[in-house]
Amino acid sequence: MGTRGLRVLTVVSVLGMALTACTSGSASDSTGADGRTVVDGNGVSVTVPRSPARVVALSEPTLDGALALGVDVVGTTSGRGQGSVPGYLSDQADGIPIVASVAGPNIEQILVLKPDLIVTDGTVAADESVLGKLAGIAPTVFVSKKAADWKGAFTSLAEVLGKSAEAEKVLAGYASRVDEIRGKLGDHADDTVSIVRWGTGQPSVILKELPPSKVVADVGLRRPAAQDKDGLGHSTPVSRENLDQLDADWMFFGTLGGATNPQGGNTGTAVGVEASAKMLQDDALVTPGFTQLTAYRNKHVIPVDGSAWASAGGPFAATVILDQLGTALLN
């Protein structure tokens, strides 16, 4: 079995998705045999199918979450800074048509898919006019706002999809893996962790509200002072004169393949561990001061999959992050 296949097997095992044995919950009022009402992230009531069969997921978190819940996704978005689905979901989302990007959906392409439910969130461009056009195609639910906690957003998505019981199992699997890693940290339990997204010659840091930071906090690890704060829901640029803001006992270093763009509009394809390692070698190491950082001097700069660490996601992304944390700190 190849590395990618092993990764998928590990993620699915960790999430504990015994989906066929579950019955779904509902956080909505009944509106008939085939429909129910949910209240979305904007406080809008939307009537959705009880058992949606053709779901279009227009953001990375809604795609991740829908796949983790075993839902049939018929159309989705390209990953932030990528030309295809998020790199860490390349196996799970293989063959799903791309009908959107972080900049917005392609209404004509979505219309052709004949979805019975569309889900999106604040991590992508989705103003009222866009949501109105989508709602003209199928019931459209704005699941959660930008910078929402990934677990809460996933739980809300599960309610929309009628998969609340399944979501509880997924989150229980994640919590079990967190406990396993946290219990083995030993001397590393008080270490600090920096999460760096690197574009062409320009670093950014991932602050507390984003999923990778939440995972690090779940494991009980600390952030350096400059990163131990909330931001605006995307990576925050750091000037070369302030590289000390990147430093910690450990640095997890990811790239999305293009120049750093806080609005997420770059279109590169290099996102995995190998791409991050190349960026570290070719760019970060020629940046004055980088090699003086504690993490670098201690050989604790860890190239990671930027599509999971440097963007938005759900339980699959969280599990990738957990696995890479565990591999670094427990070996």
Q: Is the dihedral of CA 231, 317, 178, 293 positive or negative?
A: negative
pLDDT of residue 15: 56
Residue 55 buriedness (CB in 10 A; 0-12 / 13-18 / 19+): buried
Evaluate if residue 303 carries a pLDDT over 70.
Answer: yes
pLDDT of residue 177: 96
What would the mean pLDDT of 110-131 be, rounded to a whole number? 94
Give the model confidence (pLDDT) of 128-179 as tens digits: 999 999 999 999 999 999 888 999 999 999 999 999 999 999 999 999 999 9
Question: What is d(CA 123, CA 103) in angstroms, rounded to the nearest whole number?
Answer: 10
Three-state SS sequence of the chain: CCHHHHHHHHHHHHHCCCHHHCCCCCCCEECCCCEEEEECCCCCEEEEECCCCCEEECCHHHHHHHHHCCCCEEEEECCCCCCCCCHHHCCCCCCCCEEEECCEECHHHHHHHCCCEEEECCCCCCCHHHHHHHHCCCCEEECCCCCCCHHHHHHHHHHHHCCHHHHHHHHHHHHHHHHHHHCCCHHHCCCEEEEEEECCCCEEECCCCCHHHHHHHHHCCECCHHHCCCCCCCCEECCHHHHHHHCCCEEEEECCCCCCCCCCCCCCCCCCHHHHHHHHHHCHHHCCCHHHCHHHHCCCEEECCHHHHCCCCCHHHHHHHHHHHHHHHHC
Closest by CA to 323, choosing from 2, 9, 1, is 9
Tell me the pLDDT of the chain averaged across its residues.
86
Q: At what angle do helices 315-330 and 3-15 cross, to 10 degrees?
A: 110
Give the model confidence (pLDDT) of 213-233 as tens digits: 999 999 999 999 999 998 876
Give the model confidence (pLDDT) of 169-199 as tens digits: 999 999 999 999 999 999 999 999 999 999 8
Model confidence at 256, in pLDDT bands (50, 70, 90)?
confident
What homologous superfamily does CATH list for 25-165? Nitrogenase molybdenum iron protein domain (3.40.50.1980)
Comparison of pLDDT for 15 and 196, the residue scoring more:
196
Question: What is d(CA 109, CA 106) in angstroms, rounded to the nearest whole number?
Answer: 6
Domain boundaries, the chain: 25-165, 186-330
In CATH, what class is 186-330?
alpha beta
pTM of the model: 0.86
pLDDT of residue 23: 31
Model confidence at 286, in pLDDT bands (50, 70, 90)?
very high
| Same-fold call for 25-165 versus 186-330 | yes
